[in-house]
């Protein structure tokens, strides 16, 4: 297809497609003469992945290029997830690096207590240290013991996530799914937690109201 068809099919302006080609996010098309270049379905798919990463996932062009470039290498399926992970921006202010690093031992203690197999180079170690520092500064300390009970729900979610990624053989499709599952399922999980908080607070309020009067109301199963 011509670039105009690629633009129409993918909903991406021609100028944006040319920008992605220049920046190496999109592989070049097949030249057919001096003025015509042809593109294929793989370009449509790649554009969808780029849009998922940049607009919904909020990734920079550089981080997106890291991911899509890595996708072109031969990769084990599970390594795909790591590439997506390690390309994600971790919001640690450069000026705060030293302060954040003081909280890294707390992360190490947690990972040791959990027995989790996480690479020493994982950027998420420092991201977690930064979040724990934020909470400490606001007067809310989360110790290893406080965090441990949050780990099993996280592990349960991770197993569901990985189940969703198994048995996808097409590498580009796997990369797209990994990015979507990692990045775009996050708001779903955040909203589910808020809905669960409201449900839980209704239960507790009802329980408190009842114990004020007679016998405690049996708590419905979640």
Which 178-207 residues touch its own copies, going by CB under 8 A? 180-182, 184-205
Tokens 């809905």, located at residue: 195
Structure tokens at 46: 């790649």
Share of the chain residues as helix, strand and coil, in percent rounded to the nearest 5: 70, 0, 30
**Contact range with its own copies by CB under 8 A, out of 25-33, 35-43, 66-74, 176-184:** 176-184
The residue (of 38 and 151) whose beta carbon lies closer to its own copies is 151
Cα–Cα distances in Å, from 136 out to 100, 101, 141?
11, 14, 5
Task: Name residues contacting its own copies, limited to 111-170 (CB under 8 A).
Answer: 111, 114-119, 122, 124-125, 127-128, 131-132, 134-135, 138, 140, 142, 147, 149-162, 166
Closest CA to 93 of 51, 130, 48, 47: 130
Task: Tell the smallest beta-carbon distance from residue 148 to its own copies (Å).
Answer: 10
In terms of CB distance, is 4 or 201 closer to its own copies? 201
Q: Residue count of the chain, please give it.
A: 222
* Tokens, residue 31: 């030249």
Binding track over 73-92 against its own copies, x by CB under 8 A: ---x-x--xx--x--x--x-
| Total residues at interface with its own copies (CB under 8 A) | 75
Considering the complex, state which of residue 34 and residue 138 has its C-beta at the smaller distance from its own copies.
138
Task: Pick out residues in 36-65 that bind its own copies (CB under 8 A).
Answer: 48, 52, 56
CA count, 13 A, side-chain hemisphere, 166: 6
């Amino acid at each position: 297809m011509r670039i105009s068809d690629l633009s129409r099919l993918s909903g991406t302006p021609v100028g944006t497609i040319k920008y992605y080609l220049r920046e190496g996010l999109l592989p070049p098309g097949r030249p057919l003469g001096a003025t015509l270049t042809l593109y294929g379905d793989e370009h449509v798919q790649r554009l969808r992945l780029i849009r998922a990463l940049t607009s919904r996932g909020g990734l920079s062009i550089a981080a997106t290029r890291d991911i899509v470039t890595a996708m072109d290498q031969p990769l084990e399926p599970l390594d795909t997830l790591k590439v997506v992970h390690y390309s994600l921006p971790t919001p640690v202010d450069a000026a705060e690096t030293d302060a954040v690093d003081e909280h890294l031992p707390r992360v190490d203690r947690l990972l040791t207590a959990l027995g989790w197999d996480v690479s020493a180079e994982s950027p998420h170690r420092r991201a977690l240290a930064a979040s724990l520092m934020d909470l400490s500064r606001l007067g809310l300390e989360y110790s290893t013991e406080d965090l441990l009970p949050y780990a099993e729900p996280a592990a349960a979610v991770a197993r569901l996530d990985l189940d969703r990624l198994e048995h996808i053989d097409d590498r580009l499709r796997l990369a797209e799914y990994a990015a979507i599952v990692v990045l775009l399922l996050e708001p779903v999980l955040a909203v589910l937690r808020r809905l669960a908080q409201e449900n839980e607070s209704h239960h507790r309020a009802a329980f408190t109201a009842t114990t004020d009067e007679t016998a405690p109301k049996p708590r419905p199963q979640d």
